[in-house]
Amino acid sequence: MDAEQLLDIQGLKLNLPDGTRLLEGVSLRLNAGEALGVVGESGSGKSLTAMSVMGLLPGLKASGSILFSGQELVNLPDKVMRKLRGARIAMIFQDPMTAFLPVRSIGAQIDEQIRLHHRVSRREARARTVQLLERMGVPDPAMAAKRYPHQLSGGLRQRAMIAMALSCTPALLIADEPTTALDVTVQAQILTLLREIREEGAGVMLITHDMGVVAQACTHVAVMYSGLVVENGPVRDVLDRPLHPYTQALLAAIPPLDGPRPERLPTISGQPPTPDNRPTGCVFAPRCSFVRSECAVRPPLTEIEEGRRVACVLYAA
Amino acid sequence: MGGDGFLRMIRALSVKKGVALAVAALGFVILASLCAPLYAQMVGVDPFSSNIAGTTTRHGQSLDLMQPNDNPLHLGLTPLGPDWSPGAYMLGSDSQGRDVASRLLYGGRSSLLIAASAAVLCLCLSGSIGICAGYFGGWVDVVLSRLLDILWAIPVYLFAISLSVVTVGHGLHLGFITLAADSFLIPIGIIALVYVPYAARPLRARVLSLSRAEFVMAARGMGASDFRILRREILPSLAPSMVVLGPLVMALCLLAESALSFLSLGVQAPAASWGTLIQDGEGLLYTRPIVAIAPGIAIVVTVLALNVLGNALRDHLDPKGTGR
Amino acid sequence: MIRSFLSRTGQMALVIFGISVLVFCIFFATPGADPTARIAGRGASPQVMARIRAEYGFDRPLPVQYVRMMEKLFVTRDLTSFVNHGQKVVPEVVSAAPVTLSLVVWAAFFWVVGSLVIGVASAVLRDSWVDRLLMVLGLIGLSMPVFWLGEVINLFTQSRWHDTWLFRWVPPLGYVPLSQSPIGWAKSLLLPSLTLSVSFMGLYARILRSELLSAMGEDSIRTARAKGAGPARVWLWHGLRLSWLSYVSLFGLDFAQLLGGGALLTEVVFALPGVGRLTYQALATLDLPLIMATVMYAAVFVVIANALVDGLYALLDPRIRDGQHGR
């Protein structure tokens, strides 16, 4: 396969101890230097997918395959996983206020991550922390490192969070709704920062429910619905010409930026199925306006043209 | 909470084996204590009068209650030891020639009665304080909270001892209230009072958050009076917290009662409680340890059962935790 | 900063004043009892009664009596125990304090170490049989009257098993000053302090366990894992750092209460001549000045300790330092 392939998730399944299936076989690919936006409603399993890559879901049974730079991550012993976590794969969380330990300074927490993976002195670690904060555009970084999370603004906190994630120059950066808790102006700055990181050669997996964020910051997009990826492809293609009925409905529900405002935005009727009453066939069938008899069998995610994959009977053969 | 809800709660709680065991133990202790006069009558000895010269019959043999000492180095007499077979003096005799088993049952009556009444009184006081401070706020809250701070700063047992010391021997004469020195109401009142800060603080916090809750706002918006809001909205929501605190406070009260009685400041003779019995047994500790150990075991079992019950209730009714 | 310090000091002074009034009222202003007779003890001569009445101003209004009493306690420190042949009360309390201090410091050491080990172990192994066993043991420890436990321990270590290798080292009941023999001091305090620490160990282990478990659900713990920290580091460094706060504030309160006389029962059972035992002996003779002195000192002590704990709290949690309310 492609040497640049950074992350290759194949048929990832995740079960609760009682057998409830949370992920139904997720398949994703991400190359170095690309940014993959993972979109879907809450409960579609996008965060669970990210957490599985991080190996942060103890107690849940994972099967399938997660290849990271050719290394299998599913059922990897925690000791080995720990070496990757923070160093090769890093993560940014939604709410930087709660994600930082409230009782220690920002700098101390970034230092900790550096010293967890590199044998450096406290002084060297701090120098690197200050450097990172500066690169993230934090004003007066030496001072900011001494502050506590609650003393910084939301935007600065998220920058510090990104600085921490980048402190060991990871190959893969997972960002779980990194801008949801932030103001719109700060959002744009953070997204620009993410784009720069990607341009420097890291792979970025951006989890969001906001198509606008995907359009701004990603090269590729994967649409998730009810524990499955239903459509996957380059961002331009998918946004211009969505194939899966769910993606089409999702994009139609966004108000247009120009032209006349529609009377009513089309909505998707019904609710996404919960894990225990998921249909055996196509998961979107109950809400789909194109539903037909073939939908009783679950369609696989198939490549229908270069780089575009979709799981729908409309495009079969 | 309706009768149906109560039944459902009992059923949910009794799923846990520990809770069922605790309820059984508590039931046993209470039942046994209630049967104290019955037992005393059955074995035919008065547990409250000294009987040093008395005898008892075991295996058809008449035995002196005060035996000559088996250790030649010790002087004096040793009370009869236990023989563990049902009948008079099954746990032996104490230094006054009284039946230990019978006194244990009577002691349980006093201990449980005092602890339970003190817990109820304490919760009533703390509930009223919590409601006044939490609901009315302002200077009422400031005054009451400061008052609680003051009570909180005096170590619990020292506070209880101070109050007991001034009432012991004289009783209490406060205006029209006159309590005799041996009245149970004195230890009940004292113990209830010293644990008020313990129970009032979490209740005040609960009332405070309740009085800001939306359903209370809604009631106020509809023009309900303070009294109606307190009775219809706050009290029913406060009840679970009180129920949770009940067994936990009673456990504390039982321990405090036994400590006070151990120091001869609680239940006054001729009445006895488990604490008094431990004190009685102190002098016989190395010769007839059962006299001091048996009431202690009764205390541990009862307090443990109350704690288990209280914790289970808390997990069930109030997962966020009231008190500690 | 200075303003908040001043306001705290003001509050503290108010609470101390309130306590002194309350204690004074309990002892000397309960209606229906003559305070002179109480101080003098049973069967005092009319001359002694007259002297006491004049000295304490019991023929003057209550506020004057209060001021006299506080002056005798804190300023001139010549409050006299009439029952006990004119012994000065304050020096007596001061000389007993080192015994209580030694006992409580040892006990605190045991209960902190014990509860940390038990609490962390049962949180890490939650819902396993080890966890359940430790928590049941903790609850049993919490349910035992300390004086009874002390007696049971005495029974075995002083009498029944004293001649076995296990307890041959146990010294007779009583206290050995540190200056006289450090080893004897440690030996004489080991069992009493363990006894005293049992209930606290149980309580603190349970609190630490539940605090730790709720801390482990926090986002910041997930971050720590995402950073690549190992389980030991996550539990002990991040988890404990979050659970400390309530533990520390509770510890300060209990420690102060014990120093102030809460260890009375343990001191009585193990015949340690500390402040608590002094109070106990005063109970037998109804030596009110002494009892009042120990209660007053205890309360003032607790108030000061409270203030210290608040300060420590602010050191541990920067959010409180900045005047924000934490979790």
Between chain B and chain A, are at least 3 CB pairs below 8 A? no
Q: Is the CB of residue B241 less than 8 Å from the CB of residue B316?
A: no
Comparing CB atoms, the residue among C226, C242, C327 nearest residue A101 is C242
Summarised one tens digit per residue, pLDDT across range C142-165 is: 999 999 999 999 988 888 888 888
C-chain residue closest to B315, CA distance: C210
User: What's the domain range around B300?
Assistant: 19-45+92-317
Asked whether residue C180 is domain-assigned, the answer is yes
Sequence-distant (≥ 6) Cβ neighbours of residue C16 within 8 angstroms: C299, C300, C303
Question: How many other C-beta atoms lie within 10 A of the C-beta of residue B248?
Answer: 23
Would the CB atoms of C291 and B169 count as touching at under 8 Å?
no
Would the CB atoms of C147 and B299 count as touching at under 8 Å?
no
Question: How many other C-beta atoms lie within 10 A of the C-beta of residue A249?
Answer: 18
Three-class SS string for chain B? CCHHHHHHHHHHHCCCHHHHHHHHHHHHHHHHHHCHHHHHHHHCCCCCCCCCCCEEEECCEEEECEEECCCCCCCCEEECCCCCCCCCCCCCECCCCCEHHHHHHHHHHHHHHHHHHHHHHHHHHHHHHHHHHHHHCHHHHHHHHHHHHHHHHCCHHHHHHHHHHHHCCCCEEECCEEECCCCCHHHHHHHHHHCHHHHHHHHHHHHHHHHCCHHHHHHHHCCCCHHHHHHHHHHHHHHHHHHHHHHHHHHHHHHHHHHHHHCCCCCCCCCCCHHHHHHHHHCCCCCCCHHHHHHHHHHHHHHHHHHHHHHHHHHHHCCCCCCC
Would the CB atoms of B158 and C152 count as touching at under 8 Å?
no
CB pairs under 8 A between A and C: 76
Asked whether residue C93 is domain-assigned, the answer is no
Asked whether residue C206 is domain-assigned, the answer is yes
Alpha-carbon distance A230 to nearest alpha carbon in chain C (angstroms):
28
Would the CB atoms of C224 and A90 count as touching at under 8 Å?
no
Q: Is the CB of residue A22 less than 8 Å from the CB of residue A60?
A: yes
On chain B, the residues whose CB falls within 8 A of the CB of C32 are 170, 173-174
Separation CA A157–CA A94 (nearest Å): 11
On chain C, the residues whose CB falls within 8 A of the CB of B163 are 26
Summarised one tens digit per residue, pLDDT across range C87-120 is: 788 888 888 888 999 999 999 999 999 999 999 9
pLDDT for res B129: 92
- Backbone φ and ψ of B249, nearest 5°: -65, -40
- Residues C218-225 have a mean pLDDT of 86
Asked whether residue B55 is domain-assigned, the answer is no
Confidence at B10, pLDDT banded by 50, 70, 90: low
On chain A, the residues whose CB falls within 8 A of the CB of C218 are 98
Summarised one tens digit per residue, pLDDT across range B87-144 is: 777 787 777 778 888 889 999 999 999 999 999 999 999 999 998 888 888 888 888 8
The closest of C319, C317, C299 to C12, measured between CA atoms, is C299
Give the residue with greater pLDDT, C285 vs B239. Answer: B239
Number of domains in chain B: 1
pLDDT for res C266: 93
Asked whether residue B137 is domain-assigned, the answer is yes
Would the CB atoms of A104 and C322 count as touching at under 8 Å?
no
Reported ipTM: 0.88
Asked whether residue C157 is domain-assigned, the answer is yes
Comparing CB atoms, the residue among C147, C152, C279 nearest residue B262 is C147
Alpha-carbon distance C308 to nearest alpha carbon in chain A (angstroms):
19
Interface with C, mutate which of B78, B142, B161, B290 (most C CBs under 10 A):
B161
Asked whether residue B53 is domain-assigned, the answer is no
Would the CB atoms of C322 and A102 count as touching at under 8 Å?
no
pLDDT for res B1: 42
Confidence at C85, pLDDT banded by 50, 70, 90: low
Query: Taking phi first (over 0 means left), then psi (-120 to 50 degrees means alpha), and beta for anything else, what does residue C300 get?
Result: alpha
Asked whether residue C67 is domain-assigned, the answer is no
pLDDT for res B205: 87
Q: Is it the case that residue C201 has pLDDT exceeding 80? A: yes
pLDDT for res C41: 66
Give the residue with greater pLDDT, A218 vs C49. Answer: A218
Rg over CA atoms, chain B? 24
Would the CB atoms of C261 and B157 count as touching at under 8 Å?
yes
Strands lying side by side in the sheet with A21-31? A21-31, A5-15, A61-68, A71-72
E-strand stretches of chain C = 80-81, 87-88
pTM of the predicted model as reported, rounded to 2 decimal places: 0.83
Asked whether residue C252 is domain-assigned, the answer is yes
pLDDT for res B75: 61
- Residues B272-282 have a mean pLDDT of 89
Alpha-carbon distance B68 to nearest alpha carbon in chain C (angstroms):
20
User: What's the domain range around C253?
Assistant: 98-276
pLDDT for res B175: 65
Q: Is the CB of residue B271 less than 8 Å from the CB of residue B182?
A: yes
Confidence at B324, pLDDT banded by 50, 70, 90: very low
Read off the tokens for A22.
């949370």
Q: Lowest mean pLDDT: which of A17-26, A44-53, A218-227? A: A17-26
On chain B, the residues whose CB falls within 8 A of the CB of C279 are 158, 161
Summarised one tens digit per residue, pLDDT across range B163-186 is: 888 877 677 766 667 777 778 888
Confidence at B5, pLDDT banded by 50, 70, 90: low
Read off the tokens for A229.
């990826």
Separation CA B185–CA B174 (nearest Å): 13
Q: Is the CB of residue B267 less than 8 Å from the CB of residue B108?
A: no
B-chain residue closest to C307, CA distance: B153
Read off the tokens for A285.
């069938």
Comparing CB atoms, the residue among C32, C280, C294 nearest residue B173 is C32
Comparing CB atoms, the residue among C219, C319, C324 nearest residue A93 is C219
- Residues B2-7 have a mean pLDDT of 59
Comparing CB atoms, the residue among B155, B265, B295 nearest residue C283 is B265
Which chains reach chain B with 3 or more Cβ–Cβ distances below 8 angstroms? C
Confidence at A222, pLDDT banded by 50, 70, 90: very high
Domain of B294: which CATH number? 1.10.3720.10
Residues paired with A90 in a beta bridge: A173
Which of helix, strand or coil describes residue C36? helix
Comparing CB atoms, the residue among B150, B175, B259 nearest residue C15 is B150
On chain C, the residues whose CB falls within 8 A of the CB of A79 are 230
Say what percent of chain C tops pLDDT 90. Answer: 21
C230: DSSP letter: -
CA distances from C189 to B89, C70, C101, C203 (A): 38, 34, 11, 22
Comparing CB atoms, the residue among C227, C241, C317 nearest residue A113 is C227
Query: Taking phi first (over 0 means left), then psi (-120 to 50 degrees means alpha), and beta for anything else, what does residue A43 get?
Result: left
On chain B, the residues whose CB falls within 8 A of the CB of C148 are 258, 278, 292-293, 295-296, 299-300
Q: Is the CB of residue A45 less than 8 Å from the CB of residue A36?
A: no
Three-class SS string for chain A? CCCCEEEEEEEEEEECCCCCEEEEEEEEEEECCCEEEEECCCCCCHHHHHHHHHCCCCCCEEEEEEEECCEECCCCCHHHHHHHECCCEEEECCCHHHHCCCCCCHHHHHHHHHHHHCCCCHHHHHHHHHHHHHHCCCCCHHHHHCCCHHHCCHHHHHHHHHHHHHCCCCCEEEEECCCCCCCHHHHHHHHHHHHHHHHCCCEEEEEECCHHHHHHHCCEEEEEECCEEEEEEEHHHHHHCCCCHHHHHHHHCCCCCCCCCCCCCCCCCCCCCCHHHCCCCCCCHHHCCCCCHHHHCCCCCEEEECCEEECCHHHCC
Q: Is the CB of residue B244 less than 8 Å from the CB of residue B317?
A: yes
Q: Is the CB of residue C79 less than 8 Å from the CB of residue C92?
A: no
Question: Please, which residues 133-152 of chain A have a Cβ atom closer than 8 Å to chain C?
Answer: 148, 150-151
**Termini Cα distance of chain C:** 22
Comparing CB atoms, the residue among C19, C143, C258 nearest residue B304 is C143
Alpha-carbon distance A201 to nearest alpha carbon in chain C (angstroms):
21
Comparing CB atoms, the residue among C155, C265, C306 nearest residue B259 is C265
Asked whether residue B75 is domain-assigned, the answer is no
Domain of C179: which CATH number? 1.10.3720.10
On chain A, the residues whose CB falls within 8 A of the CB of C318 are 102-103, 148, 150-151
Which of helix, strand or coil describes residue C73? helix
Would the CB atoms of B296 and C152 count as touching at under 8 Å?
yes
Asked whether residue C102 is domain-assigned, the answer is yes
On chain A, the residues whose CB falls within 8 A of the CB of C241 are 101, 103-104
Q: Is it the case that residue B320 has pLDDT exceeding 80? A: no
Tell me the pLDDT of chain C averaged across its residues. Answer: 84
On chain C, the residues whose CB falls within 8 A of the CB of B290 are none
On chain B, the residues whose CB falls within 8 A of the CB of C250 are 324
Asked whether residue B256 is domain-assigned, the answer is yes
Would the CB atoms of C292 and B162 count as touching at under 8 Å?
yes
Number of domains in chain C: 1
**Termini Cα distance of chain A:** 24
Sequence-distant (≥ 6) Cβ neighbours of residue B235 within 8 angstroms: B131
- Residues A279-292 have a mean pLDDT of 87
Question: How many other C-beta atoms lie within 10 A of the C-beta of residue B127?
Answer: 21
Separation CA A285–CA A230 (nearest Å): 12
A5-80+196-315 sits in which CATH class?
alpha beta
pLDDT for res C236: 85
Confidence at A90, pLDDT banded by 50, 70, 90: very high
On chain B, the residues whose CB falls within 8 A of the CB of C254 are none
Comparing CB atoms, the residue among A84, A90, A101 nearest residue C220 is A101
Separation CA C249–CA C326 (nearest Å): 14
Interface with C, mutate which of B74, B150, B250 (most C CBs under 10 A):
B150
Interface with C, mutate which of A103, A105, A147 (most C CBs under 10 A):
A103
Sequence-distant (≥ 6) Cβ neighbours of residue C192 within 8 angstroms: C103, C107, C150, C266, C267, C269, C270, C272
On chain B, the residues whose CB falls within 8 A of the CB of C292 are 162
- A283-297 per-residue burial string, b: 16 or more CB within 10 A, e: under 16: bbbbbbeebeeebee
Q: Does A273 touch chain C (CB under 8 A)?
A: no
Read off the tokens for C250.
């509770």
Q: Lowest mean pLDDT: which of A51-60, A114-123, A260-269, C152-161? A: A260-269
CA B23 to chain CA centroid, nearest Å: 16
Confidence at C327, pLDDT banded by 50, 70, 90: very low
Question: How many other C-beta atoms lie within 10 A of the C-beta of residue A97?
Answer: 18
pLDDT for res A178: 86
CA distances from A304 to A145, A209, B309 (A): 50, 25, 64
